[in-house]
Amino acid sequence: MKIRITADSTCDLSPEYIQAHDITIIPLTVTMGGTDYTDGADIAPDDIFRHVDAGGDLPKTAAINSDTYRQRFKALLEDCDAVIHFNISADFSSCYEHAVAAAEGLPVYCVDSRNLSSGIALLLCEAVDLIEAGEDDPKAILDHVNALIDKVDASFIVDRLDFLYKGGRCSMVAMLGANILKLRPCIEVTGGKMVVGKKFRGSYERCLKQYVDDRLRSPDAVNARRVFITHTGVTREQFELTKEMVLEHVPFQEVLEVRAGCSITSHCGQGTLGVLFVRK
């Protein structure tokens, strides 16, 4: 049985991984400055930064509708036997609801990742691993992936709070206080929703170390198969520093660097970095 993997554009996979494993990405619509764009096609994170820095409002994303999903699913099924589709958390978007409606009557299996960004990608990669190892039962793959959802550890340390403020996720007082005290919060994905976790204090590099130490404080509880280091734009030195610190804690077999797409960029702004992995 031939199985194809698809995902919303919120999954933040690298172009190289998408091409190497024949993944189909279905893009959301991003509205910015009164114009609609196709995520990943005619708008990029740097466009968002320029727009917001010039005084513009944060862009908004629109869920993929059921008709679009069904068209894409049916087109893929002309050359495969089943499709497994990965969605951003149903608490963030109606994409999952629309995908399930579109899949009715088709051999399409939809996954509510309960996550975003590379938290989705971690689950998708597990499905790819199984397929490439010879697994051809989509239900078995679905069961395996669903069993891992609550084990995904997804979080980001945020450098700029103005995006969170404009998005209504922190108050002006909290933003100003954090700036004065040089606080950088950790945003965690818990139960399918974003919540504010610990706050780290000091220079960006010092906060990165505190963040990595905190997330990987129990290395024996971590699945060392792969880790994503996903960011919205950091220096090469900052990335390599993070990678070095991560590997000091856990000798991951695979370290994947990803530049986050428009969704996480719109929420968290520049200088956001996350270390995402699966717990045992």
For the chain, what's the residue count? 280
Note whether residue 74 is domain-resident: yes
Domain that holds residue 144: 3-28+63-149
Residue 163 confidence (pLDDT): 56
Is residue 141 located within the same domain as residue 170? no
Note whether residue 121 is domain-resident: yes
Note whether residue 58 is domain-resident: no
Note whether residue 45 is domain-resident: no
Is residue 9 located within the same domain as residue 144? yes
Is residue 174 located within the same domain as residue 111? no
Is residue 127 located within the same domain as residue 231? no
Alpha-helical (H) ranges within 218-261 are 236-249
Is residue 218 located within the same domain as residue 97? no
Query: Residue 128 is encoded by which pair of tokens?
Result: 């790819």
Is residue 21 located within the same domain as residue 144? yes
Among the three residues 119, 149, 179, which one is the final residue of a domain in this structure? 149
Residue written as token pair 């996720």: 169
Residue 60 confidence (pLDDT): 85
CATH for 85: 3.40.50.10170
Say how many domains are in the chain: 2
Q: What is the pTM of this model?
A: 0.91
Q: What is the Cβ-side half-sphere exposure of residue 5, based on CA atoms within 13 angstroms?
A: 27
Query: Residue 98 is encoded by which pair of tokens?
Result: 């629309």
Is residue 136 located within the same domain as residue 10? yes
Is residue 94 located within the same domain as residue 145? yes
Structural contact between residues 6 and 25, judged by C-beta atoms closer than 8 angstroms: yes
Note whether residue 201 is domain-resident: yes
Residue 83 confidence (pLDDT): 98
Among the three residues 118, 134, 149, which one is the final residue of a domain in this structure? 149
Is residue 99 located within the same domain as residue 213? no
CA distance 225 to 191: 23
Beta-carbon contacts of residue 190 (< 8 Å; ≥ 6 apart)? none
Residue 265's CB is within 10 A of a number of other CB atoms, namely: 27
Is residue 21 located within the same domain as residue 143? yes
Q: Phi/psi zone of residue 229: left (φ > 0), alpha (ψ -120 to 50 degrees), beta?
A: beta
Question: From the first residue on, what is the mean pLDDT of each consecutive set of 10 residues in the chain (280 residues)?
Answer: 95 95 95 89 87 84 94 97 97 95 98 96 98 96 97 90 52 40 79 85 91 96 97 93 97 96 79 95
Beta pairing class for 155-157 and 226-231: unpaired
Report the candidate in 254, 265, 271 with the shortest Cα–Cα distance to residue 16.
254
Note whether residue 248 is domain-resident: yes
Is residue 201 located within the same domain as residue 227? yes
Q: What is the CA radius of gyration of the chain?
A: 19
Note whether residue 54 is domain-resident: no
Alpha-helical (H) ranges within the chain are 15-20, 45-53, 66-77, 95-103, 118-132, 138-148, 162-166, 172-181, 204-215, 236-249, 262-268
Residue 51 confidence (pLDDT): 87
Report the candidate in 169, 189, 222 with the shortest Cα–Cα distance to residue 115.
189
Query: Residue 163 is encoded by which pair of tokens?
Result: 């995006």
Note whether residue 178 is domain-resident: yes
Among the three residues 102, 124, 149, which one is the final residue of a domain in this structure? 149
CATH for 185: 3.30.1180.10
Report the candidate in 184, 118, 194, 195 with the shortest Cα–Cα distance to residue 157.
184
